[in-house]
Structure 1
Amino acid sequence: MQFAGVLPEDAPDPRVECAEMLTAMPIPVIEFAAQRSLEITDIGVNYGTDRAGFSVMTASVSATLWRNPEDRSDPVNLADLDDETRRSIEQVPHWPRPEWLLEQVERMRYPLLWDAVQTTWHREESEYTTLDHLLAQHANYILMNQFREELGLGLGDWDSPALTSTRTVRQGIHVAIGGETVMGAEIDTDPFVYAIGAKLANGGTLTAVISREHLPYIDLKFARRR
């Protein structure tokens, strides 16, 4: 769903449409295991189709980070915002806005683990559906969208050596999913992010990419979304 111009006060919440799309996901969606420092705030869906229907689907889970979950009013919970972002939050337009949009604007005050956990399903296996490929792809997606300035990259620099690759993937890592431990892989060589993932028993792939500055506040365990 796309909007342009001024949103009417009764504009539908786009998360409703995403939730409906998730029902078409052939496998369960994986998210962070419940923990007080994380609050799941959004799930996005990307997909590809052909004549036979869906060929690939990815569910991307985002979460708000609470560094001090016992006191959400503690300033330590606030994100380090640039002036432009801070102005966009504080500036109140002269027209009413939907409640869901007000909620999203307020969330901008706090650190967001954006698209941090992804569950990917492919109808057919290929070199592009391996755990190594999907883990590196997810890590580079986060790097290009959140650390491009730090890396000195332009919008089209997807082949830059500053990004990670499948060569950096290390196998034999224990990944906790739904109270069980499975064998997976990690990327622990990048200075900005840590990536971990595993192949799922139902044929899908779990990948998670977390900014290193947030790792001390997170328990890297996962669970099936209810």
Structure 2
Amino acid sequence: MGKVVLTLGGVPFQDMEVPEKICFGGKQRVAVQNLIGGGRVVSALGLDDGEISFAGIFSGADAVARAQELDAARALGAQLPLVWGGFFYIVVIEKFTAEYRKPGLIPFAIDCVVVSDPVAAVAALAAPLANMVGGDLTAAEALSGQAGISLQGVVATSLSGFAAVQQALVGGIGAMGTSLVGAASILGGAVMADAGIGAVSQLSAVSGQLAGAAVMRGYVNRAAINLGASLL
């Protein structure tokens, strides 16, 4: 028998049982708010891991026993460790199918739902908060021109300048919202073409500014929270 390179629960996979490929990955859940004038605010809501699936052929004297063990785990909805290479997940077997051909020859296919990814969780905890703060401030700075709000006084090592920028963002976003309402009102009641064109131009400009300020505010707020945690 070859070296075991894949295990699910207490079941090892060897030789022909080891799949040629293992599908994994997933999505990032996002909330998209489309603003008047073409602006867009995108908020990351968290990971949405996809299924991990693979197939192979159980072989050997214990092929039936191992197939039955995995089918029983599927029926119970048990949470099992899935380990291969540098990967480690806690999963539930969503689907297990097998084809009995001979006592020592049972092709199978498995679909697993990820419960947790301990490796990614540990990596996230190990990532220095200072790096995250610096990255968020860099992203916020890139948006400051679009938003029309300066990050002057904000540094990645002190909370002293954050309050003023956060207050400026809140006030700016409120003023932009008022401006949008006013432009929309003008557009709705416009009789002359010039007035309508001016209102449309204002809607477009302010919408872009509002989109930049809203996203910038998210980066600044997260940087402040992480910096506060790192200074404790």
From the two aligned structures, give the one with the greater helix fraction: 2
Over alpha carbons, which structure has the higher Rg? 2
Structure possessing the higher relative contact order (Cα contacts under 8 Å, 6 or more residues apart):
1
TM-score scaled by structure 2?
0.24
TM-score scaled by structure 1?
0.25
